[in-house]
Structure 1
């Protein structure tokens, strides 16, 4: 951030350096990764310009640069998707990214800001599906008019002694699943893998 400030001394904040060149939303789709240190001015401009946020929680912890205030971004109606950031992460597995998102939000809540409660399973699932899909258009949901992109899961390997509803089964998948639970994948209605 300091280097960008040196390169663009007239910028008010990090994102403003991009905005001065038409690269911060509005007419060009923009994804800002991490957003750990965004101040109120940058957050306001991101909202005004429709900038998307890629939350990469494993990267936040591996780089020890801080944990993004994702609860605030969601409450303000900002576009937030979940990422794995393989440059500072260890996997492309979105189940792992969802786990890390919940864990990182708990650390932020506990150590930095008690006003921003931890993320729920439903919220991280949204960020991994429809929230991230918003950038690409009508993807990430089973709603009418959306492309039929889907991952079919089979959780019978994850034995549990009690009956579980769908939400509980999804939470169990987020915490315990890996590639073995993926039964099939579809992109735009076409099966791409078993």
Structure 2
């Protein structure tokens, strides 16, 4: 992923390929450090060490531990959107897109298990970043549902409520079948969840 100002908290936006690579290394290292130790026990020195860069390189891009944490929340939020949204939109219709999107999200979580600890902790460390994470996803989701209604693929309703309801389901599916247990395939989880979205409980 090309890192840009979407990562809140950046002191400096890289202008070269080398700068983007260093920033990517720092954000990935921060994900490992915060994911394992939590915000309060994490250390800037260990983030730099994990990234394989001098500590001065850290301060080139971030002024503090909170700054890199905020940037990481924005970066992970963008990764979720950029992973799942194209999968949904590439499907032949919205309902099959929902199924594909759930599978893509569960698979993403399995490769990025630190996501949950970092996002949950942001509610206490950087509440504005926490709210932005969910609000940005919900706004995009509601807009894409509205577009699907315009194409005649789904029924009419309050798309904001629908977006938050589906997001809530995905969050807990990711926790249960992405972080806690990988026994079922993402596709098996998505099949059952998509049936609920399509047909409801009747």
Task: Give TM-score scaled by structure 2 length.
Answer: 0.29
Q: Name the structure, 1 or 2, with higher relative contact order (CA <8 Å, separation 6+).
A: 2
Task: Give TM-score scaled by structure 1 length.
Answer: 0.30
Say which structure is richer in helix: 2
Say which structure is richer in strand: 1
